[in-house]
Amino acid sequence: MSCSQYLVFFLQYNDLICVMDLHVIDTGLFKLDGGAMFGVVPKVLWNNLNPADENNLCNWAMRCLLVEEGNRLILIDTGIGDKQDDKFFKHYYLSGDNTLESSLKKKGFSVNDITDVFLTHLHFDHVGGAVKWDKDHINLECRFPNATYWSHERHWRHAMAPNPRERASFLRENILPIEENGQLKFLRPGEELIKNFSFIEVNGHTEAMMLPKIQVKDKTIVYMADLIPSRHHVPVNYVMGYDIRPLDTMKERLKVHEEALLNDYVYFFEHDPDTECGTVKMTERGMRLDETFSLKEIL
């Protein structure tokens, strides 16, 4: 075999063995006010979708995604974490058997294996698990000691000086240790984290939220974060009360929906308590949910 033939063979073999794989990482459930989650949509409508308890609270998932390719192990979001005090957690009624670390362990990984942590945005239910107390419960440290933490520079600045509407969602103890430990880097619009891993920037929910867009096998998976937190939020006008620019959210959803129809996107729902993935379709009433399935069913 000539040198050129060997090089072609090596590259083809290398591509073959470095196949991207995705793993669902469940970090438990929490409760949020149903009215806040569905905005101006009347309760008589949304309560049929995700029934509220006697306190008007609904259960929501904190579902992360692990991307495995070659020597890279990329975790998208980290859930709410475990370092806050009881006063904080009592507002959110955490439940479920899964935690961030236990779910990683079920997949055969540990926190030391993670090479990258991609943070869609820095609200506490997405970044809380990124930082933990040390063994003496004195100092805060990064949960993933060998990882680079990726954020958006404009969003980072926004989180450091939050508006009054979002101040309670950006907790400095979730964020500052990442920078102080030298593990923070920024991605710019148009950049890929790795090949076939890019992102869509949206600004309706919060400033410069990043939605990972991952091409794996013959699928394009879009991690919807809080643009479309659950399958119930597929209709363009089902906008959360938490969004800082609700009209922009509606425009951004419609744009992503249109791209999804053209490019066969599969949506990955971070907060849906029951459904991992879904597709959309256009109907006489506008964009609606089409099929739903687990990630395992399509990859």
Of 66, 83, 89, 67, nearest to 175 (Cα)? Answer: 83
Pairing of strands 184-186, 277-283: unpaired
- Average pLDDT, integer, range 128-157: 97
Q: Residues 53, 84, 171, 130: is their CA dihedral positive or negative?
A: negative
For tokens 């508006």, name the residue: 163
Q: Based on the number of CB atoms within 10 Å of its own CB, is 84 exposed (0-12), middle (13-18) or buried (19 or more)?
A: middle
Mean pLDDT is lowest, of 8-12, 18-22, 40-44, for 8-12
Note the residue count of the chain: 299
Q: What pTM did the predictor assign?
A: 0.94
pLDDT digits 0-9 by tens, 233-276: 999 999 999 999 999 999 999 999 999 999 999 999 999 999 99
Domains of the chain (ranges; CATH) run 20-298 (3.60.15.10)
pLDDT digits 0-9 by tens, 166-204: 999 999 999 999 999 999 999 999 999 999 999 999 999
More confident residue, 177 or 10: 177
